[in-house]
Amino acid sequence: MMRSLFVSLLLLCAIAPFAIAKEAEPTGDDPAVEQRLMNLSKELRCLVCQNETLADSQADLAADLRGEIREQIKAGKSDKEIIEFLTARYGQFILYRPRVTPTTYLLWFGPFVLLLGGLWVLFTYIRQRRDAVAENPLSDDERRRAEELLASASGKETM
Amino acid sequence: MLKYLIPLALFLVLVVFLAIGLGRDPHEVPSPLINKAAPTFRLPQLKEPTKTFSADDMRGKVWILNVWASWCISCRDEHPLLVEYAKTRAVPIYGLNWKDKREDALQWLDELGDPYVLSVSDLDGRIAIDYGVYGAPETYVIDQSGTIRFKQIGAVTPDVWSNKILPLVQQLNRQGSSK
């Protein structure tokens, strides 16, 4: 009894992945088309699961869009035309690498501005500190006391 | 004093940016189609598939295109509101039945009521792609010249209807009649 239960459980486990897996998408027969589709869809964002590329996404919309791109490739459209087609409908959001336009300057150059600002703060801080240290040299009196203290300290150590 | 004020000011700026960022819904992607011509289509009608309907048939009228599907959960939330709004006859609502099975769609309308003047079937979702649809329900307000003037992503709420859609429709109708 236990044994047959165990076997059927094992069988169930073996079958489960096939039950979960979706029906395979119709793939084109032309490997060159598929390669271009793959390269393009890696650059494009799936709008349903926004942190996935169109290439990775399992969403139905992503499958539809891949189908659309495949057909456009077959129709002889260039990559640029296809990207244009998609951004006209879904906006720049669909691009994983947003274009450099005045609205995205902050996005593209902001980190470098922050880096420069950080460097400026760092250098001014270091310069200030160096000046502050250099401005207060020991007086003769202080130097003599320091030497005395050092001498007595080393004297103790040897004992 | 300034030594402490500068970091404080920077911190406050950061807080404001983060607060704005948190308040936004990342699922609402601004549509590039606003103020552009509504993509044209000719699709079979859901109830009478032998007849077709085209966006061009609506030239000269302000109308609403609502993307819906029987498999779409938020559509179910939105539906009673649409039924109610359709009764006011403020603006004709047309449905784009997105990637749905015809029987399921008809059954849904039977069960929940039909707010649409008519619905068209976009079985393979090609027209939805033209409209930049990525999550039903989506609602478009289209003006007399066939230009998209407003897009609601996700379910229409009473707030959106009475504060955005209705005033816009009234304004468009006024502009249309004064021309």
Pick from A46, A47, A89 the residue to mutate for testing the B interface (most B CBs within 10 Å).
A89
Least confident of B31-35, B64-68, B156-160: B31-35
pLDDT for A104: 83
pLDDT for A55: 82
pLDDT for A6: 61
- Residues in B touching A68 (Cβ below 8 Å): 126, 129
pLDDT over 70 at B105, yes or no: yes
User: How far away is chain B from the Cα of A68, in angstroms, using its nearest Cα?
Assistant: 8
Mean pLDDT, residues B126-152: 89
Please tell me which residue of chain B has the smallest CA distance to A87.
B32
For residue A9, the SS3 value is helix
- Residues in A touching B30 (Cβ below 8 Å): 91, 93
Mean pLDDT, residues A111-119: 95
A90:B130 CB<8 A? no
- Residues in B touching A60 (Cβ below 8 Å): 99
B32:A64 CB<8 A? no
- Residues in A touching B99 (Cβ below 8 Å): 60, 64
**Per-residue pLDDT band at A61 (split at 50, 70, 90):** confident
A93:B125 CB<8 A? no
Least confident of A4-8, A21-25, B29-33, B146-150: A21-25
Distances (CA, A) of B124 to B43, B50, B94: 11, 18, 19
pLDDT over 80 at A108, yes or no: yes
pLDDT over 50 at A127, yes or no: yes
Mean pLDDT, residues A133-153: 83
User: How far away is chain B from the Cα of A55, in angstroms, using its nearest Cα?
Assistant: 16
Mean pLDDT, residues B84-91: 89
- Greater model confidence, A23 or B81: B81
pLDDT over 80 at B179, yes or no: no
pLDDT over 70 at A159, yes or no: no
Question: Across chain B, what does the average pLDDT equal?
Answer: 88
Task: Please report, to the nearest 10 degrees, the dihedral formed by the alpha carbons of residues A146, A148, A153, A157 taken in order.
Answer: 140
Compute chain A's Rg from CA coordinates.
Answer: 34
pLDDT for A23: 47
Question: Across chain A, what does the average pLDDT equal?
Answer: 79
Please tell me which residue of chain B has the smallest CA distance to A47.
B134
User: How far away is chain B from the Cα of A13, in angstroms, using its nearest Cα?
Assistant: 29
**pLDDT, tens digit, 9 for 90 and up, residues B10-40:** 999 999 999 988 887 777 777 788 888 888 8
Distances (CA, A) of B143 to B35, B88, B92, B94: 10, 19, 12, 13
pLDDT for B15: 94
A91:B32 CB<8 A? yes
ipTM of the prediction: 0.72
Please tell me which residue of chain A has the smallest CA distance to B32.
A91
B124:A64 CB<8 A? yes
pLDDT for A9: 57
- Residues in B touching A50 (Cβ below 8 Å): 26-27
pLDDT for A157: 58
pLDDT for A113: 95
Percent of chain B at pLDDT > 90 equals: 30
